């Protein structure tokens, strides 16, 4: 039997290991920071630049989103010898976009490595080249550059977003959520007194925005005796997909809380660059998230009833094994039988039909679903 794949450490653990590697005798020659959480990617860049300064490297910073970015200057820094130091630390922010011409800078051109990829590989191939730091949110680990970094003994850090609710298995205590644990750790680092229950409130009120949470901690640092709830207002909305998860977990209190937060404060749509507040739009996205999750859960429950394990059931749907998505899928598949999920699907279809009429569904419709689904509707006998 094949050994189970080890779960990737959380981003704070990966950054701690990076800091240790950078302090090593030979240091780290290359670093890739990938994943959607910019806060962690910026922390990795800060660690690398601090280590480069200690090693006397010339820092060359490039940002592909900077209006004044020039590819030729970046390629020159990767290929030429520095003037004022023995070697360079070349930092490339947003290396996976935007487009240059009709291609993204790390994409292949006519089936061959792009100029940026070739220059980066050549840089890594020189023993005296110094350090390369690549910030690329969507870079795959099987990309030629990522493989070369790993082959050169470099570090690849996956900067995913922290889970803002406890795992779907075991104790549902919100204090176990990664976001809350990170907040408590940052408070300890900054010597700010923060009780676990207050950390739960702070995370829920602010949302899964680490930079905003740092700002809240700064407020607490200068609080001068003022209470937490006096200092921190409720700005968090949530996301439709998180609300779908909470609605389907079977706990009406969690479902109601998620629905209220979403429809009261909306959610930050990263693709549009603005906060979505329109009830009709929120309802439409939430319905879509529910429909997908329920369909997958029904297939999973049916596969389990046929004697398959959760991993085989996940393969039927293309759900990646390992990680929070698989764990949520497995927990839902075991929570209700297939018939129960079909009854849940009928509830979702009814709300979807209402969305085609005026007035469409609002927060009260989804609150009713939270109560119905939390009361045992569709659960295994």
State the CATH number of the domain containing residue 132: 3.40.50.300
Contacts of 82 (CB under 8 A, 6+ apart): 58, 88, 130
Write down the pTM of the prediction: 0.66
Q: Do 249 and 361 share a domain, yes or no? A: yes
Confidence of residue 239 (pLDDT cuts 50, 70, 90): confident
Say whether both 145 and 23 belong to one domain.
yes
| Residue ending a domain, choose from 133, 158, 183 | 158
- Check whether residue 154 and residue 186 sit in a common domain: no
- Please say if the pLDDT value at position 128 is more than 70: yes
pLDDT in the model for residue 381: 47
Classify residue 3: in a domain, yes or no: no
Q: Which of 16-25, 170-179, 348-357 has the weakest average pLDDT?
A: 170-179
CA–CA gap between residue 216 and residue 227 (Å, rounded):
12
- Min mean pLDDT across 16-20, 115-119, 310-314 is at 310-314
* Domain boundary, last residue among 231, 262, 278: 231
Q: Are residues 18 and 154 in the same domain?
A: yes
Confidence band (pLDDT; 50, 70, 90) for 2?
very low
Provide the domain limits for residue 277. 240-374
Sign of CA dihedral 216, 181, 42, 269: negative
- Distance of alpha carbon 349 from alpha carbon 351, whole angstroms: 5
User: pLDDT tier at 270 (50, 70, 90 boundaries)?
Assistant: low
Give the residue, 236 or 164, on which the prediction is more confident.
Answer: 164
Residue 147 domain-assigned (yes or no): yes
Q: Is 125 helix (H, G, I), strand (E, B) or coil?
A: helix
Q: Can you give the CATH number for the domain in which 260 is found?
A: 1.20.272.10
Query: How far is CA 24 from each of CA 29, 140, 275, 297, rounded to the nearest angstrom?
Result: 11, 27, 43, 47
**Are 303 and 329 within 8 A, CB to CB?**
no
pLDDT on residue 101: 56
Distance, CA of 140 to CA of 147 (rounded, Å): 9
Residue 295 lies in a domain: yes
Domain-located, residue 114: yes
Last residue of a domain, one of 182, 206, 231: 231
pLDDT of residue 16: 95
Q: Using a pLDDT cut of 70, give the percent of the chain over it.
A: 88
The helices-and-strands tally (H runs, E runs) of the chain is 16, 7
Contacting residues for 189 by C-beta, under 8 A, at least 6 apart = none
**Taking 80 as the threshold, does the pLDDT of residue 97 lie above it?**
no
**Inside any domain, residue 379:** no
Q: Is residue 244 part of a domain?
A: yes
Least confident of 256-265, 312-321, 346-355, 357-366: 312-321
Residues forming beta bridges with residue 274, ordered by sequence position: 269
Q: Is 58 part of a structural domain of the chain?
A: yes
Same-domain check for residues 68 and 121: yes
Give a yes or no: residue 6 inside a domain. no
> Can you tell me the distance from the alpha carbon of 283 to that of 381, in angstroms, rounded to the nearest whole number?
31
- R_g (Cα) of the chain, nearest Å: 24
CA angle at 244 for the pair 344 and 316, rounded to the nearest 5°: 70
Q: Which residues contact 200 (CB under 8 A, 6 or more apart)?
A: 174, 175, 177, 180
Co-location of 206 and 134 in the same domain: no
- 130 bridge partner residues: 88
| Pair (132, 221) in one structural domain | no
Shared domain for 66 and 185, answered yes or no, is: no
Over residues 188-228, the pLDDT tens digits come to 999 999 999 999 888 887 878 898 899 889 888 887 667 77
Q: What pLDDT does 272 receive?
A: 63
Are residue 113 and residue 89 in the same domain, yes or no? yes
The predicted-structure confidence for 61-73, as pLDDT tens digits, reads as follows 999 988 889 999 9
Counted domains in the chain: 3
Q: Kindly state whether residues 20 and 146 are assigned to the same domain.
A: yes
Asked if residue 35 and residue 126 are part of one domain, the reply reads yes
Q: What's the angle, vertex CA 156, arms to CA 330 and CA 30, rounded to 5?
A: 175
Q: Per residue in 271-309, pLDDT tens?
A: 665 677 888 989 999 999 999 999 989 988 988 888 888
- For residues 246 and 215, membership in a common domain is answered with no
pLDDT greater than 80 at residue 243 = yes
Regarding beta strands 155-158 and 58-63, do their DSSP bridges make them parallel or antiparallel, or are they unpaired? unpaired
Beta bridge partners of 158: 34
- The yes-or-no verdict on residue 5 having pLDDT over 50 is no
Residue 236: pLDDT above 70? no
């Amino acid at each position: 039997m094949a050994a189970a794949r080890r779960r990737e450490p959380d981003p704070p653990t990966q950054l701690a290991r990076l800091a240790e590697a950078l302090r090593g005798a030979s240091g780290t020659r290359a670093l890739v920071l990938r994943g959607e959480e910019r806060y962690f990617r910026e922390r990795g860049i800060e660690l690398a630049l601090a280590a480069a300064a200690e090693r006397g490297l010339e820092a060359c910073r490039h940002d592909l989103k900077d209006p004044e970015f020039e590819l030729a200057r970046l390629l020159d820094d990767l290929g030429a010898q520095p003037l004022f130091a023995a070697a360079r630390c070349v930092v490339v922010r947003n290396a996976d976009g935007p487009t240059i011409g009709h291609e993204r800078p790390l994409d292949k051109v006519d089936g061959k490595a792009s100029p940026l990829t070739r220059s980066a590989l050549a840089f890594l191939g020189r023993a005296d080249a110094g350090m390369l730091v690549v910030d690329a949110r969507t870079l795959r680990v099987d990309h030629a550059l990522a493989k070369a970094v790993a082959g050169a003994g470099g570090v690849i850090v996956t900067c995913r977003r922290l889970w803002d609710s406890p795992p779907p298995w075991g104790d549902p205590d919100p204090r176990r959520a990664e976001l809350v644990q990170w907040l408590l750790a940052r408070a300890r680092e900054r010597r700010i007194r923060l009780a676990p229950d207050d950390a739960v409130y702070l995370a829920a009120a602010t949302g899964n925005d680490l930079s905003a949470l740092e700002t809240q901690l700064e407020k607490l640092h200068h609080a001068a005796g003022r209470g937490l709830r006096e200092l921190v207002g409720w700005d968090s909305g949530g996301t439709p997909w998180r609300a779908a998860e909470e609605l389907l977990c079977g706990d009406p209190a969690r479902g109601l809380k998620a629905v209220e937060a979403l429809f009261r404060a909306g959610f930050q749509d990263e693709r549009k660059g603005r906060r979505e507040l329109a009830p009709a739009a929120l309802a439409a996205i939430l319905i879509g998230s529910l429909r997908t999750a329920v369909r997958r859960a029904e297939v999973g429950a049916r596969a389990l009833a046929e004697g398959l394990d959760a991993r085989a059931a996940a393969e039927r749907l293309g759900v990646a094994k390992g990680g929070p998505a698989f764990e949520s899928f497995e927990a839902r598949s075991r929570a209700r039988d297939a018939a129960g999920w079909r009854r849940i699907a009928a509830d979702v279809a009814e709300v979807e039909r209402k969305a085609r009429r005026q007035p469409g569904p609002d927060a009260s419709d989804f609150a009713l679903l939270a109560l119905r689904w939390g009361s045992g509707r569709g659960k295994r006998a």
